Amino acid sequence: MSDHEHRTPVSLSGLAADDPHLAPAARNPLLVERVIALSLLLGLVLVVGFGVAYWMNAAPWTLGATMGGGLFFLGTGLVAWGKYLMPKGPFVEERHRLANSEADRDAFAAAIVERGGSVVKRRKVLGGLLGGGLGAFGVVALFPLLRSLGPLPKGTLFHTDWRAGSYAVDQTGRRVHVDDLAVGSIVTVFPEGTENTDRGQAVDQTVLIRISNQNYVTQKGRESWGPMGYIAYSKLCTHLGCPVGLYEQQLQLLVCPCHQSMFNVTNGAIPNFGPAPRPLPQLPLYVDAMGYIRSQSDYHEPVGPGFWERS
């Protein structure tokens, strides 16, 4: 507050009580006063109505309408009061230079530079030690701060829970049998035992499509992956990991509902439109002696969106 002493005192004029600056802005203050009174009264009634509506456990829209209307009309009345009935001005306020004089600035800077300098220059070792200590603490503190937040990724992003021989089950845990799907059908499957786990749903989810009644080859080298027309792709979009649950059976496209990447189902799920850069990984399948759909192995590449360590 001491800077008040050094500032030029605020010069304020006097005004006669009948000065036009003090007159209300409204041309017809009496009328405006009535309108304001009406607005405030309406606000009061509605606010009380909100209380009543609350007691009577009314529907949300009644609560909101009474509270909102009440506040709105109270506000409108108050604004109008300030705008039309209070002194219309205009009033003026001088603006003062915020900057201080050269001398003040020099004194400030001198205090920091000279005092600080004199201390640090004479005790360089102490300063160095203190600075080193604090700096080391800053770096060291960072480790537990970050490292405690979670485990290191290690290899977890490279594998799913699909193993050689995993049964494909739907979300209720029912194994998918080769007779279950007609051509053109799709079902989301998980390796048996993970269908109700977070990780199963987030990482292992796979779309199983029946594309024909014969063994189906989506790409060279995948001759045995699509027994009896069953083919399976990771359900995680290679763009941002949304579930690619949108299957168009005539266009033979899997479409990601988030950013509309389109994957060609008949051709190894190579993306042919949208931002996804890589095909959906395909899961090699086989039909066992009982007729159940099982996986030959895990996916041959990491599923889902791209990351630095992915080769």
Cβ contacts of 76-82, under 8 Å, gap ≥ 24: 76/39, 76/43, 77/36, 77/37, 77/39, 77/40, 77/43, 78/40, 80/32, 80/35, 80/36, 80/39, 81/36
Residue holding tokens 């950013």? 259
Task: Report the DSSP pairing between strands 230-234 and 282-283.
Answer: antiparallel
Nearer to other proteins, 59 or 125 (CB): 59
| The two structure tokens encoding residue 148 | 């405690």
CB of 170 to other proteins, least distance (A): 6
- Does 186 help bind other proteins (rule: CB under 8 A)? yes
Kindly state the smallest distance separating residue 225's Cβ from other proteins, in Å.
20
Among positions 120, 241, 286, 287, the unique one binding other proteins when judged by CB under 8 A: 241
Binder of other proteins out of 21, 115, 123, 300 (CB under 8 A): 21
Which of 34, 123, 259, 300 binds other proteins (CB under 8 A)? It is 259
The C-alpha atoms of residue 302 and residue 158 are separated, in whole angstroms, by 5
The footprint of other proteins on residues 269-298 (CB under 8 A) is 271, 273-278
- CB atoms inside a 10 Å sphere around CB 308: 5
Residue 171 interacts with other proteins (CB under 8 A)?
Answer: yes
* Residue 17 binds other proteins, judged by CB under 8 A: yes
Q: What is the DSSP letter of 281?
A: P
Q: Are 218 and 266 in contact (CB under 8 A)?
A: yes
Distances (CA, A) of 82 to 44, 79, 266: 18, 5, 71
Residues 193-232 that bind other proteins (CB under 8 A): 198-199, 201-203, 205, 209
Q: Which of 118, 224, 260, 267 binds other proteins (CB under 8 A)?
A: 260
The answer to whether residue 177 forms part of the interface with other proteins (CB under 8 A) is yes
Residue of the chain from 163, 188, 217, 296 that contacts other proteins (CB under 8 A) = 188
Residue 274 to residues 9, 104, 240: CA-CA distances in angstroms?
67, 63, 12
CA 228 to chain CA centroid, nearest Å: 43
CA gap 249, 230 in Å, rounded: 14
Among 42, 44, 161, 185, binds other proteins (CB under 8 A): 185
The distance of closest approach from Cβ of residue 223 to other proteins in the complex, given in angstroms and rounded to an integer, is: 25
| Between 166 and 205, CB nearer to other proteins | 205
Q: How many CA atoms lie within 13 A of 116 on its CB side?
A: 6
CB of 287 to other proteins, least distance (A): 14
Instruction: Write the binding mask 108 to 137 for other proteins: x where contact by CB under 8 A, - elsewhere.
Output: ------------------------------
Nearer to other proteins, 127 or 249 (CB): 249
How far is Cα 303 from Cα 281, in angstroms, rounded to an integer? 6
Query: Per CB under 8 A, which of residues 29..88 are in contact with other proteins?
Result: 52, 54-57, 59-65, 67-83, 86-87
| Interface positions, 136-165, toward other proteins (CB under 8 A) | 146-147, 149-153, 156-157
For the beta sheet containing 206-210, the strands, ordered from the edge strand earlier in sequence to the opposite edge, are 206-210, 230-234, 282-283
- Which part of the chain contacts other proteins (CB under 8 A), choosing from 109-117, 130-138, 222-230, 250-258? 250-258
Contact status: 24 vs other proteins (CB under 8 A)? no
Query: Which region, judged by CB under 8 A, interacts with other proteins, from 10-18, 106-114, 124-132, 217-225?
Result: 10-18
